[in-house]
Structure 1
Amino acid sequence: MEMEASSPNQRLRFGKMGFGCQHYRRRCRIRAPCCNEVFPCRHCHNEAVNLLSNPFDRHELVRQDVKQVICSVCDTEQPVAQVCSNCGVNMGEYFCKICNFFDDDTEKGQFHCHDCGICRVGGRENFFHCKKCGSCYSVALRDNHTCVENSMQHHCPICYEYLFDSLKDTTVMKCGHTMHCECYDEMIKRDKYCCPICSKSVIDMSRAWKRIDEEIEATPMPEDYRYKKVWILCNDCNDTTEVYFHIIGQKCSHCKSYNTRTIAPPEFPQ
């Protein structure tokens, strides 16, 4: 049970981290303009209404459309504002009037990115907005990533959750495409080393290619098939070339990758 605040300054801190949901700690709830129902936050709304829906046909609450909030301390419904008009409680230590967003846990380092149009976490000094990719990335990726237009404006290719405003950490692969970090790690654990979107290798595969070289050298093809050729497309460098067919794999003559696919099969003797 919380004690009543005795001064204006104390009232601003009244209930800090004592209210909220699994997504945010805050001292207010929101009224969803789309269904007129009350939820702790927009994520709670989205989870409730999309529990059994198709991931590609989801109904999302638009944060900027929220007009009314309900103070969790005095239950007063009112227009969106940081301070309750009735009891004076601060409904969130961090407040963004553009996103209608409240959060008490300021250690997250919340900041509003005007280019993204939403609030991000992690500290403004640790991120930059890539204009071509259309999203905020870690400063470690400045001039150090492959740009893909609107790379975050799609669903994770593994779990199909929309990436742009996902609460989960995301990673940028060598090819420039993005996915959740946890989905990427699970993919690597299952020995899947190609981007699910473009099929390019996502890690350095040179050692694996060397092992395939050795395996091919130790496994000669029968005489009737030894000089058969096949046209291949390399997923890593997009080069198209004609190479000798081998049952183990076809090596790109340009970048030496075995991440290739056959586009014209060889003709075998009857």
Structure 2
Amino acid sequence: MESSGENNGRVEFGRMGYGCKHYRRRCKIRAPCCNEIFPCRHCHNESTNDRHEICRHDVQRVICVICDTEQPVAQVCSNCGVNMGQYFCGVCKFYDDDIEKRQYHCNDCGICRVGGKENFFHCQKCGSCYSIDLRDKHACVENSMRHHCSICYEYLFDSLKETTVLNCGHTMHSHCLHEMIKHDKYSCPICSKSVIDMSRTWRKLDEEIEATLMPENYRHKKVWILCNDCNDTTEVFFHVIGRKCGHCQSYNTRVVAPPVLPR
């Protein structure tokens, strides 16, 4: 009789030793769309010239990389008994040996997420899982994650890259946000609201404006501005350096009526 220890050794054989750049796993998938074999659906999506993609739920057959047996989707190989993925989701047809990612399946998202289920909640309006730190602390935008990143244009909902929820509720890749800020771009590409605390910058602009007098003919000219941060419309004195919102003190504004020029 085979001992449980021997059986467990067989199940765990090759763990973290196989896979691709996306996942460590002991199986490959047969793509239902083209009938070709790939290490994972991302490998398929990156290799196809016509840009067609696999729907994860449509995968029906996998190939054990230990014994090369093709079989219906299951966690344990029907031939050699190896565990083809330490984490396995029968809904997503997903395998991964790297369980330190703390994978979990979200029924509302309909896909697997990483980071530990206890650390996330599903926002029904935004249509995705968010960190519990954002519960009741983020601006809801309907289906905000079911869009493309406004910088790199990769679809965000099932992206493998870390995603950030901006103060305005819109979302983008964290890396794209950091790159945007590095290039001195501080407003959301979608709604133009400030993406970080700009109070220090606003104080510097206050000082610059105070030290920079406008020509006499312009000192009393006014313009109507729309504040991108609070959506308030006010009439303010025109200045070439910036026009400050009288409601929230932001300089993230745009002129909606030009100044009356001197004759």
Q: TM-score range by the shorter chain?
A: over 0.9
Compute the TM-score of the two structures, normalised by the length of structure 1: 0.92
Distance 1:206 1:8 in 2: 62
In 2, the alpha carbon distance for the partners of 1:19 and 1:257 equals: 53
What is the CA-CA distance between 1:255 and the residue it aligns to? 1.1
Residue identity over aligned pairs, in percent, reads 75
Query: Superposition pairs for residues 77-156 of structure 1, below 5 Å?
Result: 77-156=70-149
Show CA shifts across 1:99-127 (max 9, x none): 00001111110100001100011111111
Q: What 5-or-longer segments of structure 1 have no aligned partner?
A: 1-5
Using the size of structure 2 for normalisation, the TM-score is 0.95
List, as ranges, runs of 4+ consecutive aligned residues in structure 1 with deviation greater than 3 Å: none
Distance, in Å, in 2 between the alignment partners of 1:256 and 1:147 is: 24
1:162-183 superposed Cα distances (whole Å, 9 cap, x missing partner): 1111111111111111111111
Distance in 2 (alpha carbons) for counterparts of 1:93 and 1:10:
13
Q: Are positions 1:267 and 2:244 aligned together?
A: no
The alignment partner of 1:7 has SS state of helix
Q: How many angstroms apart in 2 are the aligned matches of 1:212 and 1:136?
A: 38
Q: Which residue of 1 aligns with 2:16?
A: 17
* SS class of match (1:174): coil
Q: Distance in 1 between matches of 2:246 and 2:53?
A: 48
How far the C-alpha of 1:229 sits from its partner, in A, is 1.5
Q: Which residue of 1 aligns with 2:161?
A: 168
Question: Quick one: distance in 2 between partners of 1:244 and 1:174?
Answer: 29
Aligned to 1:235: 228
Structure 1 stretch displaced more, 23-32 or 216-225: 216-225
Secondary structure, aligned partner of 1:182: helix
Q: Residues of 2 paired with 1:230 and 1:191: CA distance? A: 26
- In the alignment, what sits opposite 1:41? 40
State how far apart, in whole Å, the 1-side matches of 2:258 and 2:35 are: 60
Distance in 1 (CA, whole Å) between partners of 2:16 and 2:227 is: 53
Partners in 2 of 1:84 and 1:23 — Cα distance?
A: 21
Cα distance between partner residues in 2 of 1:249 and 1:31? 59
Q: Deviations over 1:132-179 (max 9, x none)?
A: 111111111111111111111111111111111111111111111111
What's the CA shift for 1:59? 2.7
RMSD: 1.4
CA distance in 1, matches of 2:42, 2:189: 27
For structure 2, which runs of at least 5 residues remain unmatched after alignment?
A: none
